[in-house]
Amino acid sequence: MIYEIVVPQFTKMLGNLLAILDDAGKYAEEKKFDVGVLLQSRLAPDQLNLLRQVQVACDTAKLGAARLTDTEKNAPVHDDSEQTLAEIKARIEGVVKYLNTFTAKDFAAAADRRITQPRWTGKTLSGQEFLIQHVIPNFYFHTTMVHAILRHNGVGIGKSNYLGAMPFRAAA
């Protein structure tokens, strides 16, 4: 299930994020303003702007997969220099491509692995704690904030744009 959450589901959510960024681009075109205004927007002066929200969502997915599979050395490095819609979309697409280099097998030992990251100064979480209490809530926090910033600025999106399609099956 860890693989299902971190690879297929995060891939789906990042695809939904690409689609709402396209909606933001179209909205800016229609209203004849620079989409950069939206990319620099935030809901509070001490909050990360939209570009940074996307960058952190991307890093949460990338480093979540890398740390849970103990392959952090192989993860692509991003310098957070994106400034345009095309650049931030490329960042997301790169992370989706990276996520999809993993298979379910790579996560076989993930739940019990001890996981740390630089700002934790040596302290650790189990892989399951890291996934459930850190990766998942962080990833959805930042993807939702992108949605919130765009919606607050008038982009015509709703929760279905965030959730995406469900793999429904007809009742038997």
Residues of this chain that interact with its own copies (CB under 8 A) are 1-2, 4-5, 9, 12-13, 43-44, 46-47, 111, 114, 116, 120, 122-125, 128-129, 132-134, 136-138, 140-141, 144-145, 147-148, 151-152, 154, 158-159, 162-164, 166-172
Q: In whole angstroms, how close is the CB of 134 to its own copies at the nearest point? A: 7
The nearer residue to its own copies, 39 or 155, going by C-beta atoms, is: 155
Instruction: Compute the least distance from the CB of residue 86 to its own copies, in Å.
Output: 26
> CB of residue 126 vs its own copies: minimum separation in angstroms?
8
38 touches 150 (CB < 8 A): yes
Min separation Cβ 111 and its own copies, Å: 7
> CA–CA separation, 132 vs 154, rounded Å?
33
Q: Structure tokens of 105?
A: 């097998």
Other beta carbons less than 10 A from residue 27's beta carbon: 18
- Which token pair is 85? 């819609």
Rounded Cα gap, residues 158 and 96, in angstroms: 23
Calculate Rg over the CA atoms of the chain.
17
Q: Which is nearer to its own copies, 84 or 161 (CB)?
A: 161
